[in-house]
């Protein structure tokens, strides 16, 4: 291999690398403009998540394309017959296709996940039996990080059902249990007052899309009566809001003397309750 060949190879690699580095910010800028226009009126966070998702995928695709072009240009420089190589690949392509059916399924599923905007980077989702925050979406796999910090790599072909918990809005769905001896009208009024106070708090008001409120009596349980609270919040803020709401309700119940029940069991020794009544 002479020096001219080495220089040509180095030039091909250098140009490919420069184009790759330039393409990344250019792709992001173009996607930002397109998505901002298409999603006009939506929350900025949602626009940023969609931009990050599509930009990441297109940057990877552009990198792969540049790599393939660079390799195809470099091979003749080292004496490889491209035509013969393509023919060999064509003969073995059928066998590879049969062996890589699951891989093809992953890529096709990934394409439709992205096309249909099922979820985006930073969304909290449940897919293939795993829940967590989406750290990366590719054509082949989706990477999640769960609440314990564990990273899960899920092949897109395994995603038969996806549940997005943070798309456009999230919802409070909280049950508060009170004792059977409590006046339910009074308890519901106290809870609604707590919700109104929280909605007026400058720290929490930006997170609330609607003021949380009592929705219904949800269940007559073994130990208490469950009262359901619902309300819409900004994506991903439902857990923090519910935690604060629980704290405020607990403190208010303590101050108002409202009982929060706990499971208990009555144990009788000897005679049954019916026998005791007879005596």
pTM of the model: 0.70
Inside any domain, residue 278: no
Alpha helices in 211-279 (DSSP H): 238-256, 273-278
Chosen domain end from 79, 99, 119: 99
Inside any domain, residue 72: yes
pLDDT of residue 153: 94
Question: Which residue is it, tokens 């996806």?
Answer: 162
Are residues 23 and 66 both part of a single domain? yes
Are residues 159 and 178 both part of a single domain? no
Q: What is the CATH number of the domain that holds 152?
A: 2.30.30.60
Alpha helices in 78-145 (DSSP H): 82-99, 101-115
Are residues 196 and 237 both part of a single domain? yes
| pLDDT digits 0-9 by tens, 112-136 | 898 888 999 889 999 999 999 999 9
Coil, strand or helix at 210: coil
pLDDT of residue 259: 92
Inside any domain, residue 270: no
Are residues 73 and 128 both part of a single domain? no
Measured between alpha carbons, how far is 19 from 59 in angstroms, rounded to an integer? 11
pLDDT of residue 142: 94
Are residues 240 and 177 both part of a single domain? yes
Question: Which residues are CB-neighbours of 106 under 8 A, at least 6 positions away?
Answer: 139, 140, 141, 155, 156, 157
Parallel, antiparallel, or unpaired for β 225-233 and 170-178? antiparallel
| pLDDT digits 0-9 by tens, 14-47 | 999 999 999 889 988 988 888 888 777 777 888 8
Q: Is 79 left (phi over 0), alpha (psi -120 to 50) or beta?
A: left
Inside any domain, residue 202: yes
Look at the chain and report how many structural domains it folds into. Answer: 3
Are residues 15 and 84 both part of a single domain? yes
Question: Which residues are CB-neighbours of 195 under 8 A, at least 6 positions away?
Answer: 211, 212, 213, 229, 231, 245
pLDDT of residue 279: 53
Chosen domain end from 82, 99, 116: 99
Are residues 162 and 176 both part of a single domain? no
Inside any domain, residue 273: no
76, 5 Cβ separation under 8 angstroms:
no
| pLDDT digits 0-9 by tens, 189-227 | 999 999 999 999 999 999 999 999 999 999 998 889 999
Helix (H) or strand (E) holding 56: helix 44-77
Q: What is the CATH number of the domain that holds 47?
A: 1.10.287.1260
Residue 279 DSSP one-character state? -
Inside any domain, residue 264: no
Q: What is the CATH number of the domain that holds 197?
A: 3.30.70.100
Are residues 158 and 180 both part of a single domain? no
Are residues 73 and 8 both part of a single domain? yes
Inside any domain, residue 268: no
Chosen domain end from 167, 187, 208: 167
Are residues 33 and 11 both part of a single domain? yes
Domain that holds residue 111: 106-167
Mean residue pLDDT across the chain: 87
Are residues 142 and 56 both part of a single domain? no
* Better-scored residue on pLDDT, 177 or 55: 177
Gyration radius of the chain's alpha carbons = 30
pLDDT of residue 219: 94
Inside any domain, residue 242: yes
Are residues 200 and 220 both part of a single domain? yes
Please choose, from the candidates 146, 145, 212, the residue with its C-alpha nearest in 3D space to the C-alpha of residue 173.
Answer: 212
């Amino acid at each position: 291999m002479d020096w001219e060949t080495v220089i040509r190879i180095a030039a091909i690699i250098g140009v490919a690398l420069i184009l790759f580095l330039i393409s990344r910010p250019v792709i992001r800028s173009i996607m930002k403009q397109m998505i901002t226009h298409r999603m006009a009126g939506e929350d900025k966070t949602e626009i940023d998540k969609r931009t990050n998702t599509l930009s990441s995928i297109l940057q990877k695709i552009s990198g792969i394309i540049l790599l393939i072009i660079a390799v195809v240009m470099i091979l003749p420089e080292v004496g490889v017959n491209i035509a013969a190589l393509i023919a060999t690949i064509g003969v073995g392509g059928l066998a590879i296709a049969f062996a890589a059916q699951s891989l093809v399924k992953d890529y096709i599923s990934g394409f439709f996940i992205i096309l249909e905007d099922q979820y985006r980077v930073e969304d909290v989702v449940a897919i293939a039996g795993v829940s967590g925050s989406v750290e990366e979406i590719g054509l082949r796999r989706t990477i999640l990080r769960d609440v314990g910090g564990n990273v899960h790599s899920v092949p897109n072909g395994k995603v038969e059902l996806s549940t997005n918990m943070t798309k456009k809005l999230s919802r409070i769905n909280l049950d508060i249990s009170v004792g059977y001896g409590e006046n339910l009208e009074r308890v519901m009024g106290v809870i609604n007052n707590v919700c109104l106070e929280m909605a007026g708090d400058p720290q929490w008001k930006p997170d609330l899309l609607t003021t949380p409120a009592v929705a219904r009596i949800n269940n007559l349980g073994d130990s208490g009566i469950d009262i359901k609270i619902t309300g819409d919040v900004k994506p991903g803020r439902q857990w923090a809001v519910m935690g604060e709401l629980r704290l405020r309700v607990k403190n208010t119940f303590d101050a108002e003397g409202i009982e929060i029940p706990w499971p208990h069991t009555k144990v009788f020794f000897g005679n049954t309750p019916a026998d005791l009544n007879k005596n």
